[in-house]
Amino acid sequence: MSRIAMVLGLAAFTLFNYGQYRGWSLFSDDAQAQPARSANAARTFHK
């Protein structure tokens, strides 16, 4: 049990750090899950 707990603990800790690195959050929405890049955005907003 302790070995399994060690593996699971390490995996969870690794995932936590990756999530923090990526900016995962339960209370945030991923902007890139929305329509990605506007097809003519550059043309519209380029100055």
Smallest distance from another protein to CB 28, Å:
4
Smallest distance from another protein to CB 39, Å:
10
Are the beta carbons of 23 and 30 closer than 8 angstroms? no
How many residues belong to the site for another protein (CB under 8 A)?
Answer: 35
**9, 10, 35 from 16: Cα distances, Å:** 10, 10, 27
* Paired tokens of 11: 């995996």
Q: Which residues bind another protein (CB under 8 A)?
A: 1-2, 5-6, 8-9, 12-13, 16-17, 19-32, 34-38, 41-42, 44-47
